[in-house]
Every structure is written in C-alpha cells, then in structure tokens.
Amino acid sequence: MEPNDTKPILEVKNLHVHYDTGKGPAKAVNDVSFSLRPGERLGLIGESGSGKTTMAMALMRLTKAPGRIASGSVLLDGEDILTMSPRELRAARLRDIALIPQGAMSSLNPVMRLEVQMADAILAHRPEMKKEAVDARIEELLKSVGLTPEVARRFPHELSGGMKQRAVMAIATALTPKVIVADEPTSALDVVVQRQVIQTLGRLQGGLGAAVVLIGHDMGLVAQFADIVGVMYAGKLVEIGPVRAMIEAPKHPYTKLLVDSLPGIKVKQALIGIPGLPPPLVDLPPGCPFNPRCPYVFDRCRSETPEPQTVGPNQLAACHLYPEHAVLPPMPAPSSSGRAPQ
Ligand code: SF4
C-alpha cells in the first residue's frame, strides 16, 4: 500500500451495533473504527458471527430491529450517514454508497425483467432521463459486468448464479457510487465463478475509482482482491493492515491462526483449524475477547481489553503483546503459566 495523503471517502468512528436480546445487548459491532480513501479496497474477514455482515448493514444504515446502531459515526465524504434525514439517505444510497448484497437471487425481484429493475434504480435518482438514455445506460452497465445486452430482457430465474451476481453488481454501480459495500458477493457460487465475480468487482472498482469494502470469510479470496485487510473477531476489528503484511507478518494471534488455516499449494499438509468457538456476543469474556482460544494468552489478557495500536506501517492490532514485541513471537507450547510469551 503506497502512502496516500488523499482525504478519506469513508470514515467509520467508534461504531457500536447491538442486537437487543432477553439476556442484554449482543455487541455485534463493538467500537470499530477505520477509514478508506478513494480507490482503496478493504477486505473484512472473520468467522461467522464476527460482525462482518452487521457492519455492512450499518455502513448502509440498513440495520433492522432488534439490531440498532448504538453509537458512533459513518462519515461518507464528511457527511454522517447515521444522522442524515430519510430523504438525504435515499439520495445517498446508490448514488454515493451502494450495496452488493449476499444472495443475488433474494435481492432481485423474481417477477420483473432485469431491464425494469435496472431502469427503476436509475430513474429513482434521475427521473429526468429519457428512455433511450436509460436503455443505453442499461446496456453499458451489463457490458461492464461481462453480460450481453439481451440479458436485460430476462427474468432472474433465467440467469445462472454468477450472472445474477453480475446483474446485481450492474445495478449497484448504476450511479457510479464513491463507495461500494460488497457483502459476501460470492457466497453459494462455485470456486471458478467466485473468482470471476471477484475479478469483475475489481474491474468495476478500477473503472469507477470507488472505495470498496468486501466482506468475506475466505481469507484467500479476499486477499486476492483487497489491498487492505481487516480481521474481525467477536464484533471487534482486531487487526487491520496492508494485505501483504497481514499475510506474511500478521501481528494478532487470531490473524496468524487464520492465515495458518489456509491450505498450502506447494506443501501438502493437514488443514489446521482454530480450536474452540467464538464467545457469545451477549456474554463476552472479560479482557481480550480472544483470550479463551489464544495460545499466547497471559494474565493481563483476562482482565484488560486491548486497544488497537500501531504495530507496523499502516498496521494496527489490538493485542497486549505489543508494543513489548516487535513481531509476533513463535507460537508457544500449551501452558498455564499465566506469563507473557518471551
Ligand atoms: Fe492473545 Fe492476549 Fe493478544 Fe488477546 S491480548 S490476542 S489473548 S495475547
């Protein structure tokens, strides 16, 4: 990642999103902050339930009850999405920030031809556009995602999974948004189509110069696309940094375990999982939320929540091993000494 002095287009500050339950609030997004500049690609990864999709919905202000945005801000080009009036919000969605949702089939209307759905999206923001101009724009958008113009006449059920996902991308980019939030756009697609969809997203993003937040749980796929990777665990952004540093020199023990769980291409080896389960979000352990599973755990981790701190160029990690250590120490043998790794 090159040093970049451009003003951020998206700034998330101390965002908290809770789901109200009978046992108290489940803190699905817990004090998350990050920023993105125009053209930057952030991949957000983590296990199921780590808060990734809740984050995506909050960025669009689409959080539904029993979820609620408890506090924080989401600044889009300096304007807080969370305090916009309904009218401002309607105008900003699609024009300034667009969502590529999970499950393309459920986000397309099954009884409307694609061209009608695309025209609806365009005309909602540009009612003055003439039919010929709308048709030309639809054709241009379909081509931009690798679909032929005749696809516009089809219903969603006449498209393959990959085609549907491309159609959704075409709609999301209809008004050339500045920020694209892609929430697991490759879920339920086979690996070949997954790669094609990610490549299409990359081409679209490059053409628009938009910033992208790509949500995923496949570290390998996200790393192919992103230039910044953020790792979420139990609602916290536990590490964020340039993709190369995150893969080659992760600083947070959870990131390291995620990277180690990737299958190797050159060396055949048994796949290593991360032992244990994420904690319930209504009952987080005291201290670091990763402490019950962390091979590096020591006494402080069980009582004090680590704050994000700089651990490398443009790299932050929330872990008590720093700043004492410059790099992540070798994985310790299981021990109950309660002392920090040496
Ligand atoms: Fe592990 Fe402690 Fe760091 Fe948490 S703060 S990741 S428990 S070493």
State pLDDT tens for residues 40-80.
999 999 988 899 999 999 999 999 999 999 999 999 999 99
Cβ-based burial of 91 (10 A; exposed 0-12, middle 13-18, buried ≥19): middle
Residue 164 included in any domain = no
Q: How far is the CA of 319 from the centre of ligand 1 (A)?
A: 5
For the CA of 294, the nearest atom of ligand 1: 1
Residue 119 included in any domain = no
Cβ-based burial of 334 (10 A; exposed 0-12, middle 13-18, buried ≥19): exposed
Residues 163-187: what's their mean pLDDT? 92
Residue of 264, 315, 263 whose CA lies nearest to 328: 315
pLDDT for the residue numbered 107: 85
Asked whether 214 lines ligand 1 (CB < 6 A), one says no
Is 50:193 a contact under the CB 8 Å cutoff?
Answer: no
Q: How far is the CA of 320 from the centre of ligand 1 (A)?
A: 6
Q: Long-range contacts of range 305-308, CB-CB < 8 Å, 24 or more positions apart?
A: 308/33, 308/237, 308/240
Reported as a single tens digit per residue, the pLDDT across 288-333 is 999 999 999 999 999 999 999 999 999 999 999 999 999 999 988 7
> DSSP string covering 309-321, please?
EEEETTEEE--TT
Reported as a single tens digit per residue, the pLDDT across 94-144 is 999 999 988 777 889 999 999 999 999 999 999 999 999 999 999 999 999
Asked whether 294 lines ligand 1 (CB < 6 A), one says yes
pLDDT for the residue numbered 35: 96
CATH number at residue 256: 3.40.50.300
Residue 34 included in any domain = yes
Asked whether 321 lines ligand 1 (CB < 6 A), one says yes
Q: Give the domain range for residue 270.
A: 1-96+177-342
- Residue 149 backbone phi and psi in degrees, to 5: -55, -30
* Alpha-helix runs per DSSP H in the chain: 52-59, 86-95, 104-107, 114-125, 131-144, 161-172, 191-208, 219-225, 243-248, 253-260
Sign of the alpha-carbon dihedral angle for 166, 35, 237, 337: positive
Residue 308 included in any domain = yes
Residue 171 included in any domain = no
Tokens found for residue 27: 């803190």
Reported as a single tens digit per residue, the pLDDT across 4-54 is 578 999 999 999 999 999 999 999 999 999 999 999 999 999 988 899 999
Distance CA 294, CA 306 (A): 14
Cβ-based burial of 318 (10 A; exposed 0-12, middle 13-18, buried ≥19): buried
pLDDT for the residue numbered 240: 98
Q: How far is the CA of 294 from the centre of ligand 1 (A)?
A: 6
Residue 188 included in any domain = yes
Distance CA 75, CA 338 (A): 41
pLDDT-based confidence at residue 335 (cuts at 50, 70, 90): low
Is 12:32 a contact under the CB 8 Å cutoff?
Answer: yes
Residue 61 included in any domain = yes
Overall number of domains in the chain: 1
Residue 154 included in any domain = no
Q: How far is the CA of 297 from the centre of ligand 1 (A)?
A: 5
Measured in whole angstroms, how far is the alpha carbon of residue 12 from the centre of its chain?
Answer: 13
pLDDT-based confidence at residue 2 (cuts at 50, 70, 90): very low
